Chains A and B, each alone.
Chain A
């Protein structure tokens, strides 16, 4: 049951060395091609961490600016998408730390295709977005990083600048709040409790 989210962006082809070299040399056109390819991933990270479109756009733009500035230092120790994901995550967490904006009402983000997301029995995009949006920031950010992006607790502690124990408590509370919220919305778990007969399975 360990986190093993296979994200769509993880399968995106990395830019070639030539494309990266042109962008690192300051070619805005080459960099824009990279932005167009990865904007969905960066924007999704920012939206999930920040919970609203206005902040998500600002943080996503900041993430790409940081990418542009740091591109000459990118050494391919990780794939480009992983490196950019970490920039998006830290830019979003930093944005949350420094900009205190009045929360906007939760909106359902626009999905690039029309298919309904596979979120489980009875869970809709609007239910989940609203539930995430209503979580206090202290709970939402670590819960998003842990359960949406599968980051280890230690890394979440480093990114958010909080002690490991605090991060675990925040994730626990975030999960508990989401569970209660979805239950109040009438979402019932697909797997109901195992009956006594299953004791022999133990």
Chain B
């Protein structure tokens, strides 16, 4: 193993994804290469610091729970004014969870329901254009 290979595999080592033999090989490299050894020790330090940070619970701003309650009550009032709107939102949420997301070129993903929505909108526009074309053809046709 050389330094280049160490750099390729150091994250896998940190993540515990190397096999026994690869770990042994990496440790052998570290015993000869103080630069990589320091780098790995620093990476482990960063990982340990982040793990330690994650165990801490931060205090939300004062009055946070009351503001959440006010937002919930506001939403309840809005839902009471539009009972079908809430049902539609719930149905769309369930559809989103059921259908999942589709990948786009470039690595992004979008909800399947959006694709269906755009497809329906495009179909509606196409039907509208077709009907207009037919109507105009009839109007222009000599009687």
Contact = CB atoms under 8 A, between A and B. Distances in A.
Interface SS of A by simple majority: helix
A101 interface: no
A192 B60 contact: no
Given A68-B75, A193-B37, A57 B60 contact: yes
B101 A161 contact: yes
Contacts of B45: 120-121, 123, 179, 182, 187, 189-190
B42 A182 contact: yes
B119 interface: no
B31 A189 contact: no
Contacts of A118: 52, 55
Interface in B25-40: 27-28, 30-32, 34, 37-39
Contact of A175 (B14, B60, B73): B14
A183 B51 CA distance: 18
A48 B54 contact: yes
Contact of A147 (B17, B50, B60): B50
B44 interface: yes
Contact of A112 (B28, B59, B110): B59
Contacts of B72: 28, 31-32, 64-65, 68
Interface SS of B by simple majority: helix
Contacts of A47: 58
Given A1-B13, A194-B30, A65 B75 contact: yes
Interface of A: 1-3, 5-9, 26, 28, 31-32, 35-36, 39-44, 47-48, 53, 57, 60-61, 64-65, 68-70, 73, 109-112, 117-121, 123, 125, 128, 143-144, 147-150, 161-163, 166, 168, 171-172, 175, 178-179, 182-183, 187, 189-196, 198-199, 201-202
Interface of B: 11, 13-17, 24, 27-28, 30-32, 34, 37-39, 41-61, 64-69, 71-73, 75-76, 89-90, 93-94, 101, 103, 107-110
28 contacts: A1-B13, A5-B55, A8-B55, A28-B76, A35-B65, A40-B60, A41-B57, A53-B61, A57-B61, A64-B72, A69-B75, A73-B94, A112-B59, A119-B52, A128-B49, A128-B50, A147-B47, A147-B50, A148-B51, A148-B53, A161-B110, A163-B103, A182-B46, A183-B42, A189-B44, A193-B41, A194-B31, A198-B31
